[in-house]
Structure formats: structure tokens, C-alpha cells
Structure 1
Amino acid sequence: MSKPSATYTHGHHESVLRSHTWRTATNSAGYLLDSLESHMHILDVGCGPGTITTDLARYVPQGRAVGIDNSAEVVEKAAALASEGGQNVTFEVGDIHKLNYPDASFDVVHAHQVLQHVTSPVEVLLEMKRLTKPGGIIAVRSVDFAAMTWYPEVEGLREWQQLYLDVARYLRGEPTAGRQLHAWAKRAGLDAEKVKAGADTWCFNTPEERKWWSELWADRMTTSSFAKNAIESKYATKEKLEKIAEAWRVWGAQEDGWFAVLHGQILCRV
């Protein structure tokens, strides 16, 4: 089976952005916040619709935050969001492997849910290191799809999990990135004694949370780029994806439903 170049597994369908726009500095970058100072300049790599970037900008009122993404369409959405907020946040289109900034341009270089989607995460970390000032911070967080867990067991969700792992790897990503971040950081030449590794979770269990989480995944199974990639890779058929989408709806309707998403995260001093 031939493999394409690294591709963003989810694409930018509404069902994907529904999740991305929910993200904030508090629920997605809390491990970084205590390290921020008001004067800092932050680069948010792979910023998506910019909700985390815009939120981080509020923590550096005398500094600035810059969001970079390779999708012009998503950057446009992020810029629209920024226009409603403060004046110290901007967004640009750029390739995370080679960004058009001089060495040591930023106090903090941050990436949320990015390294799981690239073919060479160590190369991206090297670029992040290049852009970070001496004494500055590299902050990275990524999910571990194999470590996700839920209750109750619903027929079809284990099939979903394995399908996601297969499709992500077909696209040359690494869906268990969270558990490997600290090792990749060391391979990128970061001082092991200055790499602080940790973990955090999202947990969905209220009726509102279950409805939101299950519906966005049900929609992704049939309408997002994930569906296209799953069929193209021959890991799934349209019928299989519809079955998995229904499994998500069944889980979402469970009164005792609970879903935990594990993230690995690292703070690295340069």
C-alpha cells in the first residue's frame, strides 16, 4: 500500500473546527500558564482557528502572540477571531518545518496537537528550538489515541480506535505522540535535565459533554477528511464508517457514559 506525504488526519470540516474552537489556554495549555510573563513573545505553531493563541495573548499584555498554520482558510478564521480580541495577536500562513523568522525570535514556542500529524516530529522540534530564545520555553502537548478509554463498552468504539490508529499511520503521522514527546525532545538535542514531561486529560461525562463529544465524532466519521482518508486507505468502507458513527451516537446516549482523553506534554527550557 503506497503512503502519501504527511497529511492532517482530520481536515478542517465543521465537525473538526467544532472541537478546535472549544479549546482554550486553560483547558489545553494549562501546564504552560504559570511560566508565562507579561512581556513574552509567543509563537503558536499549528494554531488552527486561533482560540488558544488568542487566549495566550491575554497572558502577555506587554508582549504578543503569533499563530502559524498551513491552512489559509483556517488562518482567515483565526484572524477574524483576533479582530474581536486584543491588539497583541496576529496570524500568518506558514510551514511549521521551516518558518520565516530569525533564530531566537520568541520567548515561548508552543504546539498543541501538532506533532502527532507530522512525518518528522524531531525536525519540527528542531525548528521550534531554533526559534526559541536562550532561556526560553518550548511547550508541546499531544494526544495519545491508543490510551483513550471510556465507559461503558459500546460495540464499534474499539473498532473506531483501531481505525484511527491505522489511518493516522497511513498518513505518516503518529497517533500515540503524547507518550513519545519527551523522547523526541531529547533526539532534537534538548537538554534532558531541562525537559519536564507530564500528562493531562480531557474528560467528558455530563449529558451536555457526552452529546457534544459523541456528535462531533459521529459527524467526523461520515463527513470530514478522516472519512475520505479511511476509505482511500482501504481501512474502511462507507458502511463501516456509518456503523462506527452510530456507535458514537449510542455511547453518547448512555446515562453513565464517560470518556477520557490522555495527553502527553513537555515544557523544555532552551
Structure 2
Amino acid sequence: MAYQDGHLGGDDPNIVKFYESRRAESCCHYLLPHLKPSYSILDVGCGPGGITSDLAGLVPHGKVLGIDLSPEIVAQAAMKYQAPNLSFEAGDAEILDEKFPEASFDVVHAHMSLLHFKDPVKALKAWYRICKPGGIIACRNGKNFDIISLKPDLPVIRKTWPLNEDWMKWRGSDPEAGLHKEEWAREAGWLDEQRGGKLVMSESRQVHPIPMGAITGPFLDVLIKEGRTSAEEMVRLDQAWKEWEATEGHEFVTLASEMLYFKTK
């Protein structure tokens, strides 16, 4: 995973702040109508655990396990969210088939995590294997890096947006993962005729209530050295996001791609 290379920690304060704003109703609404109270759910790349905790509340007779690469963020999630049917573990989401037996979960869910995998097809194969017959695999990612709505629309934010896209690529992530998910699912064999599963693709708005924050760390040094930005411009970007966040009615919306796979019984 991109985080595994040390380019960015999953427990980085900016990342935690950004991910803590994510909840089940806003981030996996496409999955919620299909849940049953007794389902067992694996939340892949659970981060600080907000979505994971919400899912646990929706399956009171089932169980929910959140897994994340960062032991630090898993510890934070376990401390903040506690319920009899909820647990968290540190683990590599790309090799889940080595961690869990076949047909372990009714639902395998991943929100905005597939883009960080070095081998997404391998991950999708693993998700298929650990999903029970008749179960569901649900995955949501940003479709691309385009902004649908930005209010207030501060020019400095849009000016630096391509740098954020390059930042993700430098970390080893794919900011256009949402464009490739269906292709990857086919490569993973989800739609082989003998399997008979059903794949449903959809799109919706992804509202970001808070900013991720300005670029920091080694990549910023690279950008400055190459003359693509400056330390002063990054200060202006940080100030612009603070102004955006402090403005009443602020809005930051991108387009998300959703994928639901219904595994045959």
C-alpha cells in the first residue's frame, strides 16, 4: 500500500482529521439498503473507525471488524468506538486471503482504500475469496480528481490541485481508481460466466466537510526543488483552506464511483 512505503502515515493528524468526517450514511449509502441485522462485515482500510462503528450499529445481531495497516490508527479507533459486535485489527488489506479463511464475511466493504493498493486486482481476488456465497462486496472511490463544487471558490486552492494529484501518485496511490474498478473486477474474475455474480456500478457526490490539508513532507521538498511550487505558495494554500473551513456554508464536493458485487450462492 502507499502508506506502507512511509510516504504518509495513516495516523498523520491531517489524515485522521479528514477521515474522521466520514460516516456510513454519507459514504456507503449505496450499500446500506442491502444490509441484514445478522451480517458479518469486514471494513477494509477502516482508518479512525467512524464508518466501521456506524456499520456495527446497523447489524446488531452480526459483527463488524475494521482492519487497517496502521497499528496506531487501529488503537485510536478501538479506544474511541466500542460495542459488543465491533472490533479492530491491524493488518495488510492486500493479503486478506492469507489472514482469513474462505467465506468469512457476508460483506466486504472498502471506502476510498482501493486507490492505495499496489495490486488492486490481487486485492479484489482476495475479497472475493473471503466473501461468503450470497454475500456482497462494496467499494467506493473518487472517480477522478475533478472538483464538482468548491464554495468559497478560492483560486489558490484550484491552482494547487494538480500538485495534490501528483502527490497521491508519488505516494503510490491512484487518484483515478474509480475509473478502473470495473476493469479490475473483470480482471479479478468476478464476472466469469461460471461464477454468475452481479456487478452494479453507480456514481454519486462525495461531500468533504473538512480539507485534507496542505502538502507536507519530502514531496514538498521535491516540488520546491523542481520549481513547481514554493514554500510561500504552500503557506497561502494552508491559509486558503483555513479561510474555506471558517466560511459559513462552505462546500467541497467531488464525484465518487461505487461498485456493488453480489456473489452467487
User: TM-score over 0.5 for the alignment?
Assistant: yes
1:263 lines up with 2:256 in the alignment: yes
Q: 1:90 to 1:240 in 2, by over 3 A?
A: same
Offset, 1:133: 1.1
Q: Is the 8 A contact 1:8 1:117 kept in 2?
A: no
Offset, 1:68: 0.5
Cross-structure match for 1:92:
89
Post-superposition Cα deviations, 1:120-175, rounded to whole Å, max 9, x if no partner, equal 22221111111111221110011235222324542222222101111111122111
Q: Is the deviation greater in 55-64 or in 154-163?
A: 154-163
**5 Å matches for 1:74-89?**
74-83=73-82, 86-89=83-86
Residue 175 of structure 2 aligns to a residue whose secondary structure is coil
Match of 1:231 among 220, 240, 249: 220
**5 Å matches for 1:236-247?**
236-247=229-240
Q: Is the 8 A contact 2:3 2:10 kept in 1?
A: no
CA distance in 1, matches of 2:15, 2:65: 22
Residue 204 of structure 2 aligns to a residue whose secondary structure is strand
Q: Is the 8 A contact 1:9 1:117 kept in 2?
A: no
Q: Which amino acid aligns with 1:265?
A: E
**5 Å matches for 1:211-222?**
213=210, 216-217=211-212, 220-221=213-214
Cross-structure match for 1:173:
173
Q: 1:246 to 1:94 in 2, by over 3 A?
A: same
CA distance in 1, matches of 2:171, 2:13: 21
Cross-structure match for 1:201:
205
Offset, 1:33: 0.7
CA distance in 2, matches of 1:18, 1:110: 21
Q: 1:139 to 1:183 in 2, by over 3 A?
A: same
Give the total of aligned pairs.
Answer: 251
Q: Which amino acid aligns with 2:201?
A: A
Q: Is the deviation greater in 62-71 or in 186-195?
A: 186-195
Q: Which amino acid aligns with 2:120?
A: P
Cross-structure match for 2:117:
118
CA distance in 1, matches of 2:11, 2:101: 30
CA distance in 1, matches of 2:165, 2:155: 18
TM-score, normalised by the number of residues in structure 1: 0.83
Q: Which amino acid aligns with 1:37?
A: K
Residue 92 of structure 2 aligns to a residue whose secondary structure is coil
CA distance in 2, matches of 1:28, 1:47: 12
Residue 111 of structure 1 aligns to a residue whose secondary structure is strand
Offset, 1:94: 0.5
Residue 161 of structure 2 aligns to a residue whose secondary structure is helix
Q: Is the 8 A contact 1:23 1:51 kept in 2?
A: yes
TM-score, normalised by the number of residues in structure 2: 0.84
CA distance in 1, matches of 2:88, 2:247: 40
1:248 lines up with 2:241 in the alignment: yes
Unaligned runs of 5+ in 1: none
Q: Which amino acid aligns with 1:25?
A: A
**Identity rate of aligned residues, in percent?**
33
Supply the RMSD in Å over aligned alpha carbons. 2.5
CA distance in 2, matches of 1:4, 1:251: 27
Offset, 1:14: 2.3
Q: 1:131 to 1:244 in 2, by over 3 A?
A: same
CA distance in 2, matches of 1:108, 1:15: 29
Offset, 1:65: 0.4
Offset, 1:179: 2.6
**5 Å matches for 1:146-157?**
146-149=145-148, 150-151=150-151, 153-157=153-157
Q: 1:257 to 1:27 in 2, by over 3 A?
A: closer
Residue 201 of structure 2 aligns to a residue whose secondary structure is strand
Q: Which amino acid aligns with 2:234?
A: L
Q: 1:10 to 1:73 in 2, by over 3 A?
A: closer
Q: 1:115 to 1:6 in 2, by over 3 A?
A: farther
Residue 154 of structure 2 aligns to a residue whose secondary structure is coil
